[in-house]
Structure 1
Amino acid sequence: MSGLVVKSQLIDGKLVAADSTFPSYNPANGDLLGHAPDATKDDAGAAIAAARRAFDTTDWATDKDLRLRCLRQLHQALDDHREELRELTIAEVGAPRQLTHGPQLDDPIGLVTYYADLLETCEFTEDLGVKESRGQRHHRWVEKEAAGVVAAILPYNFPNQLALAKLAPALAAGCTVVLKAAPQTPLTTLALGELIAEHTDIPPGVVSVLSSSRTEVGELLTTHPDVDLVTFTGATTTGRAIMAAAAGTVKRVFLELGGKSAMIVLDDADYTKAAMFAAFTICSHSGQGCALTSRLLVPRADHDRIVQLVAAGMERVRVGDPRAAETAMGPLISEQQRDKVDAMVRRAVEEAATLVRGGKRVDPGWFYEPTLLAGVDPDSEIAQEEVFGPVLAVIPYDDEDDAVRIANHSKYGLSGAVHSADDERAIRLARRIRTGTFSINGGNYFSADVPFGGFKQSGIGRESGRAGFEEFLEAKAFGRVVPPEEAA
């Protein structure tokens, strides 16, 4: 890409600038990439008012054919501008090019088609039949209707995936949406707003897309009485604050929060294969994924052997310019995030973990070496807190029960994995782990049709799949007395 990128925000069907902007940087080199509108509280209020008006006074929520047409148009626009979005995502997110051919871009575009197809075949009414009560016959049925105005708040790590995983099912359900970009990756999300405004028939107010560096904007979205539902992906600490803020108006909340997922290598596993899988997994998007397995649980007797295999695997991870096709791992999102990761690694070593490899900053840009820590105490900070960097903590266990205990010894419950030569043994163990998703011997559960979410402090609700559609619907039950002549 050449030149500075400047984007507008979408409010009430119009692409508008803000009175001020804030910068977005390329994390691979630290260069200024462009400027994004710095939305104010008034901008957010205008977007909420437009969404409320569009939901209450238009037929968007009830016109299934219109919604279907608009989703098909959105998919076409994304497809037509795919390569432009790819270059922007690589530049702003620091995502390796090869990752944009999966969860960073191409897979998310497929989400729009998935929800359009689901909408086309979905039945919004369930007939419960007739029931005798108090000497009369009563016909009962349930209708599903849109939940209302949605505030969707994004993190920086997978902006396309998370925007479309919230927006597509919400629109299919008939909701109106105010989408707030992450302040670290605003340009990528604002590009989505421009495509909606310029290439779809989505009516004014149905979708607004904001970018802001101001905390007051997020606070308004989570407290405003005209917002019916908040969907948020991000840190658990922020999720707790959103739950508390939403309580004042008893909003529905969907929260997809942090993770500290464990990969368990059983004593009958192919250690070489499992170690390679662990090494490349933690380096995916530089470890900036909530579901990545950042704890590796290994048999105590084979700890050192497996550690060396993982270290050898990390040596094979190609780190560098995310634009290059061969790059497997790019930079962290910011210098601040890199400093946080480095500080946690240093504290882990001070707490007696062994630094096997990595643990160093790499310039220019905000790169951090793939890092392996061995002999980690399962109670330590590095084993309990989310790092969001390419840092793998290896923890020895004594037997299978001990492995399960360590894996479940976490406030999080988002994902997990197990490797074993015996699939049935692996599945039995997986069922004992308190997480929302799980990989068996490298199996991939992540797809548009699979519900994604966690247990415990990893969140509330599910995203993607039919369950992700249901998050944006309310159930309304009806009952009517059946007249005698109709009963006959």
Structure 2
Amino acid sequence: MSITDIITGLRPAEGLIIGGESKAAASTFTVEDPATAQTLTEVADGDAADATAAVDAAAAAFPAWAAATPRFRADILRRAYELMVADVDRLTALICAENGKSQADARGEVIYAAEFFRWFGEEAVRTDGGYGLSPSGLARTIVTHRPVGVAALITPWNFPAAMATRKIAPALAAGCTVVLKPAALTPLTAIAIVQILEQAGVPAGVVNLVNSAKSAEIASTWLADDRVKKVSFTGSTGVGRILLEQASARIVNASMELGGNAPFVVTADADVDAAVEGAMVAKFRNSGQACTAANRFYVHADIADEFVARFGEAISALRVGPAADEASQIGPMISAGAAKTIRELIATTVDAGASVAATASAPSTGHFVAPALLTGVPADAEILQTEIFGPVAPVVVWDDEDQLVEWVNGTEYGLAAYVYAGRLQDALRIAERTDAGMVGINRGIVSDPSAPFGGTKQSGLGREGARIGLHEFQETQYFSVGD
């Protein structure tokens, strides 16, 4: 099936899914293919009235969904997992078309995204709580959890499937109903996922989708609505601050997965081949457009030349191109503006004294940026304080661990970090001194549905995944029971 047929089958002009019905909006917005800069389709552009209608549906559906048995909710999530896996080809094609990532990256995302439905389907039936005698002996204490209520979910463009399922799955497992606002750059995958959930048996109104180019209007409408009890947002730290300020007006329960500036540390006794392999994954997955992407490379002086030479060879060999070419490993940036920003950042860093040690070739059409390795980067360079969000790897040489840790922690972000070392004790020591929510030790990837995903400092609040991801959508309640 062609991508045109796949998109047509989604009925994007009716891309509002509210109360179990697909609806049109008063206007539409354009979605483009970043590999060609050509228009893919027009999608229904929801407004404040549509956002309120979505909350109406979610609030009406909440009592029955919250009262449903854990097994009932779990079975639906399991079916959604199975349907996603069976539909991997179509979902991969959609992600490639609207996001631009390579086929391998897109397929990997679909499988990863589906896993959240399986994981939280399993967690839904593992209800926990507590029971015990109070210290005074005058009462028994029963601790339980209940769904927080209607949850507003706002997701970014860089992982259009995984960012949606990572929020929807725990919300549904906990007994919440949801209103979802995906990024306007990548709305098609979200339509497909919500349709899959309906096919899996999710009752009307439990999952509602509002596609819109009016992000601030939709978010403000939801945060001002007394029926919305939870907001979960993934995106930039700047937008997260705005949403938290709005949420504070009603004391809305908030989870925020925000920006990152991940360091990638290589010690003197690290396995260089393994470190380069991990660096390629940590830096270039999704063309570097990931909040967990390795952003700054700190390589010990004793092996810096060897690491740079091998890393440079691997970067030069990267195949950059559209997803239509199955051999492509690196796709385009999401927009012309994003590509321009990254090129300017490279130029600024070179002007500050750095050198381009290696680069790959890239197409001249579309929003492509050639992957680049920068050496001789000053320790105070602007690029080291910036979330690059692109295929650029700046290298800084170190030889003093205390200075290294100061550099590693010298940022407002604290999402992810990576450490490659020969001795596990050294890796753990550096990891423990690193102010980040997640540290990959001798591996270039940290994301896993069974692990708590989230950061420290300005990288956010709360965690997604693991059992704690379920608790983010629950309120804790206890009963003090007398004799």
Query: What TM-score, normalized to structure 2?
Result: 0.94
User: Distance between the aligned counterparts of 2:420 and 2:293, measured in 1?
Assistant: 15
User: Distance between the aligned counterparts of 1:230 and 1:51, measured in 2?
Assistant: 14
92, 98, 105: which one aligns with 2:104: 98
Please tell me whether residue 9 in structure 1 is matched to residue 13 in structure 2: no
Cα shift at 1:200: 3.1
User: Distance between the aligned counterparts of 1:400 and 1:330, measured in 2?
Assistant: 36
Counterpart for residue 485 of structure 1: none
Q: Against the structure 1 CA distance between its residues 458 and 360, is the aligned structure 2 distance closer, same or farther, given a 3 Å change threshold?
A: farther
Task: State the secondary structure of the residue aligned to 2:130.
Answer: strand
> Aligned letter for 1:48?
V
> Aligned letter for 2:66?
W
Counterpart for residue 114 of structure 1: 119
Counterpart for residue 46 of structure 2: 39
> Aligned letter for 1:99?
D
Write the mapping of 1:128-143 to structure 2, written as runs, cut at 5 A.
Answer: 128-132=132-136, 137-143=138-144
Counterpart for residue 76 of structure 2: 70
How many residues align? The count is 475
Cα shift at 1:338: 0.7
Task: State the secondary structure of the residue aligned to 2:95.
Answer: helix
Task: State the secondary structure of the residue aligned to 2:388.
Answer: coil
User: Distance between the aligned counterparts of 1:238 and 1:61, measured in 2?
Assistant: 34
Counterpart for residue 125 of structure 1: 129
Please tell me whether residue 48 in structure 1 is matched to residue 52 in structure 2: no
Cα shift at 1:299: 2.2
Q: Against the structure 1 CA distance between its residues 443 and 45, is the aligned structure 2 distance closer, same or farther, given a 3 Å change threshold?
A: same
Note the aligned Cα RMSD (angstroms). Answer: 1.9
C-alpha contact 1:341 1:389 (8 A) present in aligned 2: yes
Task: State the secondary structure of the residue aligned to 2:17.
Answer: strand
User: Distance between the aligned counterparts of 2:349 and 2:65, measured in 1?
Assistant: 56
Please tell me whether residue 308 in structure 1 is matched to residue 334 in structure 2: no
Task: State the secondary structure of the residue aligned to 1:438.
Answer: strand
C-alpha contact 2:320 2:363 (8 A) present in aligned 1: no
CA deviation digits over 1:355-410, x for unaligned, max 9? 32349873221111001221222322200011111111111223122111111111
User: Distance between the aligned counterparts of 1:78 and 1:114, measured in 2?
Assistant: 14
Task: State the secondary structure of the residue aligned to 2:228.
Answer: coil
Task: State the secondary structure of the residue aligned to 2:433.
Answer: coil
Task: State the secondary structure of the residue aligned to 2:66.
Answer: coil
Counterpart for residue 379 of structure 2: 378
User: Distance between the aligned counterparts of 1:442 and 1:196, measured in 2?
Assistant: 33
Counterpart for residue 202 of structure 1: 202
> Aligned letter for 1:206?
V
Task: State the secondary structure of the residue aligned to 2:437.
Answer: coil
Gaps (5+ residues) in structure 1? 483-488
User: Distance between the aligned counterparts of 2:111 and 2:268, measured in 1?
Assistant: 37
CA deviation digits over 1:410-444, x for unaligned, max 9? 11111111112112211111111111111111264
User: Distance between the aligned counterparts of 2:66 and 2:441, measured in 1?
Assistant: 42
User: Distance between the aligned counterparts of 1:442 and 1:314, measured in 2?
Assistant: 18
Q: % of aligned pairs identical?
A: 32
Range moving further from structure 2, 16-25 or 165-174: 16-25
User: Distance between the aligned counterparts of 1:125 and 1:397, measured in 2?
Assistant: 48
C-alpha contact 2:312 2:359 (8 A) present in aligned 1: no
Query: What TM-score, normalized to structure 1?
Result: 0.93
C-alpha contact 1:280 1:313 (8 A) present in aligned 2: no
C-alpha contact 1:60 1:66 (8 A) present in aligned 2: no
